[in-house]
């Protein structure tokens, strides 16, 4: 049975090999083991696959012959193991990671498998944000971005207004991650996570109706959710609101923007087809 699974994996590798020229450099340089950087210096292209069983994994592609690939698994101490990984149940973990990478190169914005346990700060932060307490506004099928907001942040409101047309047109989804220690931001964020129609409430609040996110709207557990978002923002030192985080649909590259973008149209070009 193992031989059949391995053969099937190499068939998958051959079919995805056609796509190798389009694979982005998903590896975040700050987290690469020193040995991995040597592979890169020698002419290899390094792409992050994900994290499994305590090890970050990478695919190394020969830039001169992109059908030549090998896989590297890094221990927390920085040692590398070359080869493929099997899960305890006998399934090929490397195959699952490779399929997820292929999906990211084809437009999926999901976090890499197991990235919440990765040594790579950017991938780990993105995975943690994916599981944070947020509300989604816009077409569920549209490409999305995460924005850490304070409920009473003027720049956050202006930023929303910059994006609203694209959201209404179904071209973009925004996932708002409310946080903030200041009482107004704390209450407003907790209310946003509590109301049934969060989209309507947020739009009304932006328009000046403070009652839309008043303290009486807050449900049990909402303050705890804001506390968790505060810890996430603090641990990753993401800076003042608004803070934007997204995986580019076109090439899978993680991107972060601190503050309201100077050129929102330039940002939107990465999402709008």
Give the CATH number of the domain where residue 43 resides: 3.10.450.70
Count Cβ atoms below 10 Å from residue 35 Cβ, excluding itself. Answer: 13
Residue 182 has pLDDT above 60, yes or no: yes
Residue 270 has pLDDT above 90, yes or no: no
CA atoms of 253 and 258, how far apart (whole Å):
17
Mean pLDDT of the chain: 86
**pLDDT for res 26:** 32
Residue 5 has pLDDT above 70, yes or no: no
Residue 254 has pLDDT above 80, yes or no: yes
Identify whether residues 95 and 141 lie together within a single domain.
Answer: no
CA atoms of 139 and 143, how far apart (whole Å):
9
**pLDDT for res 12:** 39
Q: Domain for residue 151, yes or no? A: yes
When pLDDT is averaged across residues 239-260 and rounded to a whole number, the result is 90
**pLDDT for res 16:** 37
When pLDDT is averaged across residues 78-86 and rounded to a whole number, the result is 91
Burial of 183 (0-12, 13-18, 19+ CB in 10 A): exposed
Q: Domain for residue 125, yes or no? A: no
Identify whether residues 211 and 102 lie together within a single domain.
Answer: no
Residue 83 has pLDDT above 80, yes or no: yes
Chain mean position to CA 13: 25
Identify whether residues 77 and 139 lie together within a single domain.
Answer: no
Q: pLDDT band for position 269 (50/70/90)? A: confident
Identify whether residues 153 and 100 lie together within a single domain.
Answer: no
DSSP E strands: which ranges in 75-182? 80-82, 135-137, 144-149, 173-178
Lowest mean pLDDT, pick from 7-21, 106-120, 240-254: 7-21
Q: What residues make up the domain containing 17?
A: 2-107
**pLDDT tens sequence across 118-156:** 988 999 999 999 999 999 999 999 999 999 999 999 999
Lowest mean pLDDT, pick from 17-21, 27-31, 104-108, 111-115: 17-21
Q: What would you measure as the largest C-alpha separation in the chain, in angstroms?
A: 65
Identify whether residues 237 and 145 lie together within a single domain.
Answer: yes
Domain count, the chain: 2
Identify whether residues 9 and 60 lie together within a single domain.
Answer: yes
Identify whether residues 45 and 154 lie together within a single domain.
Answer: no
Identify whether residues 146 and 71 lie together within a single domain.
Answer: no
When pLDDT is averaged across residues 222-229 and rounded to a whole number, the result is 98
When pLDDT is averaged across residues 218-234 and rounded to a whole number, the result is 97
Residue 238 has pLDDT above 90, yes or no: no
**pLDDT for res 237:** 80
Burial of 273 (0-12, 13-18, 19+ CB in 10 A): exposed
Residue 106 has pLDDT above 70, yes or no: yes
Identify whether residues 160 and 226 lie together within a single domain.
Answer: yes
Nearest Cα neighbor of 219 from 179, 192, 198, 252 is 192
Give 109-117's long-range contacts (Cβ < 8 A, gap of 24+): 109/143, 109/144, 109/246, 109/247, 109/249, 110/247, 112/26, 112/48, 112/49, 112/50, 112/51, 113/49, 113/50, 113/51, 113/52, 114/50, 114/51, 114/52, 115/50, 115/51, 116/51, 117/51, 117/54
**pLDDT for res 224:** 98
When pLDDT is averaged across residues 222-230 and rounded to a whole number, the result is 97
**pLDDT for res 32:** 65
Q: What is the 3-state secondary structure (H, E, C) of 6-54?
A: HHHHHHHHHHHHCCHHHCCCCCCHHHCCHHHHHHHHCCEEEEEEEEECC
What's the number of CA atoms in the CB half-sphere (13 Å) around residue 90?
A: 5
**pLDDT for res 273:** 58
Q: Domain for residue 231, yes or no? A: yes
Q: Domain for residue 254, yes or no? A: yes
Which helix (DSSP H) or strand (DSSP E) does residue 245 occupy? strand 243-247
Residue 8 has pLDDT above 50, yes or no: no
Say if strands 144-149 and 173-178 run parallel, antiparallel, or are unpaired. parallel
When pLDDT is averaged across residues 104-124 and rounded to a whole number, the result is 92
Which helix (DSSP H) or strand (DSSP E) does residue 61 occupy? strand 55-62
Identify whether residues 148 and 250 lie together within a single domain.
Answer: yes
**pLDDT for res 3:** 31
Give the CATH number of the domain where residue 241 resides: 3.40.30.10
């Amino acid at each position: 049975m193992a031989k059949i699974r391995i053969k099937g994996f190499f068939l998958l590798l051959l079919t995805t090999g056609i796509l190798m020229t389009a694979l982005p450099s998903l590896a975040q340089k700050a987290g690469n083991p020193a040995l991995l950087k040597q592979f890169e210096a020698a002419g290899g292209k390094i792409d992050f696959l994900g994290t499994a069983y305590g090890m970050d994994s990478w695919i190394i592609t020969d830039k001169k012959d992109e059908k030549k690939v090998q896989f590297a698994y890094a221990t927390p101490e920085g040692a590398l193991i070359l080869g493929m990984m099997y899960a305890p149940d006998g399934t090929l973990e490397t195959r699952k990671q490779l399929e997820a990478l292929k999906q990211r190169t084809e437009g999926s914005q999901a976090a890499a498998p197991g990235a919440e346990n990765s040594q790579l700060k950017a991938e780990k932060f993105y995975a943690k944000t994916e599981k944070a307490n947020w509300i989604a506004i816009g077409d569920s099928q549209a490409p999305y971005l995460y924005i850490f907001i304070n409920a009473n942040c003027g720049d956050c409101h202006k930023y929303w207004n910059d994006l609203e047309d694209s959201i209404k047109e179904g071209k973009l989804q925004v996932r708002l991650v409310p946080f903030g220690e200041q009482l107004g931001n704390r209450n407003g964020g907790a209310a946003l996570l509590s109301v049934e129609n969060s989209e309507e409430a947020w739009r009304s609040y932006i328009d000046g109706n403070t009652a839309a996110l008043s303290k009486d709207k807050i449900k049990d557990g909402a303050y705890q959710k804001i506390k968790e978002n505060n810890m996430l923002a603090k641990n990753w030192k993401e800076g003042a609101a608004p803070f934007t985080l997204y995986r580019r649909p076109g090439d899978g590259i993680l991107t972060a923007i601190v503050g309201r973008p100077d050129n929102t149209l330039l940002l939107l070009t990465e999402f709008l087809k």
